[in-house]
Copies of this chain bind each other. A is one copy, B any other.
Amino acid sequence: MDLYEDMADARQYLTIDGTFGMVRGQISDPVIAYETWGTLNEKADNAVLIFTGLSPSAHAASSSTDPSTGWWEDMVGPGKPIDTKRYFVVCFNSLGSCFGSTGPASINPGTGEKYRLDFPVLCIEDIAKAGNYLLAELGVEVVDTLVGSSMGGMTALAYTLLFPGTALRLLSCSSAARCQPFSIALRSLQRELIRKDPKWRNGQYPDDAPPEDGMLLARKLGMITYRSAEEWDQRFGRERATDDISSGTAGPFGIDFEIESYLDAHGRKFIGTFDANCYLYLSRAMDLFDASDHGGSIDKALTLTGLQSAHVIGVRSDFLFPPQRQQELAAGLEAGGVKVQFQLLDSIQGHDSFLIDMDRFRPAIAAFF
C-alpha cells in the first residue's frame, strides 16, 4: 500500500535484509522509506534525523526531485531552521506505517499475504531501531541531532536509550517520556471507534472496503484533541452551517454548526489516506511507550541517553502532551547531566502547534540549531 506513490519521486528505500528483531516479535526483510536533504560531510558529523508523528510520511519538505510541499516545509530546507545547506537531514516513514515502510498493510514475505494483525505488537523502540539501521546505512555513526515531534519525540528519546551516546543532541517538540491516562483514554477510544466499525472485520478488510466510518470518527476525535478550545472560539465561535434547525444537514442530528462541518470535511480528507490497521498499531505503540522501561524509572532512564544537550519545547494549550509531560522530560534529562533548554510556547493551536504556529516554532527551533 503506497498511497503517495505518485509524488514519491524523492523517496528512497532501505531493505534491512534478514530477520529484524522487534521488542515483541520479528519480521523479515523490512523496508524503510526515507528522504534526505543536503549532503553528509566528510566527517559524517552533520546528520539530523527527523522522526515523524503518527501520520506523516518521510516527505518532510520539498526538494528538486519532489517539489510537492512537505509536512514540515517551513522548518526544513536551505536557510530554514533545520538548514539543509548545513546539515544532512534525513526523515523516514515509521516502521508500522503505510507510506513505503513495512507495516501491517505490507506483504509478509513469508506468506505472500498482507501482515494485517499478524504484524508483531509495535513498540516505539522498533521504530527507533529502524532509524538506527538507516543512519548506519547512510554512513552516520554519531548523529548530530535527533528531532521528533509528538510520537516522533518519543521515538527520538527511545533511540537515545537504545543507542546511548550515538546522538549528541535531541530536539523534542510536544512529546513525552511516557503518556498518562487522559491521552491513553482518548487514543484507546479512537482505536475502539475503528474496531467497532463492522467493516474493520478484525483487521481483515479488503483493500476496496476499509473501515471508513471508524476512521472518520477516529480522525474527528483526533482533530478535536489536537487543537484547543481557544483557537476554535476564535475561528468558529457559534457560526452556523445551516439555518435549517429542523434536522441539521446530513439527516437527523446532522451538522448544525460550522465546527461540525469543518471536522467532517477535514476528517473525510484523511480517510483513504491511511491504513486502519497501521493506525491501530502506531496509536497503541504511543500508549505502550514508557521511558522507565529502560532503567526502571523515568529519572534513571533519563540519565542514560548519553546526550550532550536537549531542547524540550511544549505548548501550554496542548492537553494531549501537556506541559507536565514536557516538564518531566526536561527536568529528567537535566538531572541526568544533559544541558537542557526548556520552552513552553503560548501557541493556541494545542498539540498541532508545531505544524501550524510557525511564528513561534520557527524561531525556537532556529535558535536551537
A113 → chain B, closest Cβ, in Å? 17
The chain B residue with its CB closest to the CB of A263 is B185
Q: In the assembled complex, which residues on chain B have CB atoms less than 8 Å from the CB atom of A179?
A: 238
Partner of A256, one of B237, B287, B322: B287
Is there an interface contact between A257 and B180, defined as CB atoms closer than 8 Å?
Answer: no
Is there an interface contact between A189 and B224, defined as CB atoms closer than 8 Å?
Answer: yes
Q: A288 to B240, alpha carbons, bound, how many Å? A: 10
Residue A344 is within 8 A (CB to CB) of chain B in the complex: no
Q: In the assembled complex, which residues on chain B have CB atoms less than 8 Å from the CB atom of A232?
A: 180-182, 185
Q: A248 to B290, alpha carbons, bound, how many Å? A: 17
Known: A117-B252, A193-B193, A221-B221. A236 touches B284 (CB 8 A): no
Against B, the Cβ 8 Å flags (1 = close, 0 = not) of A187-200 are 01101110110100
Known: A195-B253, A252-B203. A180 touches B233 (CB 8 A): yes
Q: A196 to B263, alpha carbons, bound, how many Å? A: 16
Known: A246-B121, A253-B195, A319-B319. A290 touches B229 (CB 8 A): no
Q: In the assembled complex, which residues on chain B have CB atoms less than 8 Å from the CB atom of A24?
A: 245-246
Within 8 A of B (CB), among A139-192: 178-186, 188-189, 191-192
Within 8 A of B (CB), among A22-43: 24
Q: In the assembled complex, which residues on chain B have CB atoms less than 8 Å from the CB atom of A322?
A: 229
Copies per assembly: 2
Q: Count of A residues near B, CB < 8 Å?
A: 57
Known: A221-B221, A260-B184, A260-B185. A202 touches B288 (CB 8 A): no
Residue A75 is within 8 A (CB to CB) of chain B in the complex: no
Q: A260 to B182, alpha carbons, bound, how many Å? A: 10
Q: A245 to B260, alpha carbons, bound, how many Å? A: 36
A239 → chain B, closest Cβ, in Å? 8
Is there an interface contact between B121 and A260, defined as CB atoms closer than 8 Å?
Answer: no
Q: A85 to B184, alpha carbons, bound, how many Å? A: 46
Q: In the assembled complex, which residues on chain B have CB atoms less than 8 Å from the CB atom of A235?
A: 181
Partner of A184, one of B186, B191, B221, B257: B257
Known: A189-B220, A192-B220. A237 touches B181 (CB 8 A): yes
Q: A224 to B220, alpha carbons, bound, how many Å? A: 15
27 A-B pairs within 8 Å (CB atoms) are namely A117-B252, A121-B245, A121-B246, A179-B238, A181-B257, A182-B229, A182-B232, A183-B229, A184-B238, A184-B260, A185-B224, A185-B232, A185-B259, A188-B255, A188-B256, A188-B259, A188-B263, A192-B217, A195-B253, A229-B319, A238-B290, A248-B284, A253-B280, A256-B284, A256-B287, A257-B287, A319-B319
Identify the A interface with B (CB < 8 A). Answer: 24, 117, 121, 178-186, 188-189, 191-193, 195-196, 198, 202-203, 213, 217, 220-221, 224, 228-229, 232-233, 235-238, 245-248, 251-253, 255-260, 263, 280, 284, 287-288, 290, 319, 322, 324
Beyond A256-B284, A256-B287: 6 further Cβ-contacts under 8 Å?
A: A121-B247, A179-B238, A181-B229, A181-B238, A181-B258, A253-B284
